Chain A
Amino acid sequence: NAGVTQTPKFRVLKTGQSMTLLCAQDMNHEYMYWYRQDPGMGLRLIHYSVGEGTTAKGEVPDGYNVSRLKKQNFLLGLESAAPSQTSVYFCASSYPSGVPYEQYFGPGTRLTVT
């Protein structure tokens, strides 16, 4: 099993450009999450999904959109990139069995917006 994978690993965007980050998991997990990690801020939740076709806002959703059309994929979109969105983006997934639920993270996408 590959676990959680993210595409791309690195990207440089110019202000105003758009892009989509892809997260895929092969563990049949119901829940998926998008976080961003910035120095001195810790990981912050952007959006999450509790199942195929559902999405919800996290702590810092502004400027991002998400979609979960298939259970194994969770897409994060930036419609008009801003320098403040320069960050490392992590996707995670978890399966709602047992408490507490461990979240499995992907390797991250390093995004720079110039």
Chain B
Amino acid sequence: RKEVEQDPGPFNVPEGATVAFNCTYSNSASQSFFWYRQDCRKEPKLLMSVYSSGNEDGRFTAQLNRASQYISLLIRDSKLSDSATYLCVASISNFGNEKLTFGTGTRLTIIP
């Protein structure tokens, strides 16, 4: 079983719609969680961190459920520029060094 599991998609969503991704993690020692965004043939970039209390950044909302060990990402009013692969990441900190475990990614395409 993979440590971080995501639905690979693809999700094809019309512009302006709301889309949600879920991700589950198996290592209960994971302390920090992130969503990274990766455009086609580009490097991953941090989209947002995920906190237990939930956090929002513009049209993006991330939630963490430690009891069920899942993380979610909600995108509202989706734009064409949101088309990308979204990587769910769990982290264990070892003396300040973050060991990141990446999911395989969920591919999102926004349709005009």
Residues in A lying within 8 Å of B, measured CB to CB: 31, 40-45, 48, 50, 90, 94, 96, 99-103, 105-108
Contacts and interface: CB of A to CB of B under 8 A. Distances in A.
Interface of B: 2, 4, 8, 31-32, 34, 41-46, 49, 87, 91, 93, 96-100, 102-105
Contact of A105 (B31, B34, B45): B45
B17 to A, nearest CB: 27
A41 B102 CA distance: 9
B105 A105 contact: no
Contacts of B46: 102-103
Which residue, B4, B104, B105, has most C-beta atoms of chain A within 10 A? B104
A107 B42 CA distance: 6
A42 B36 CA distance: 12
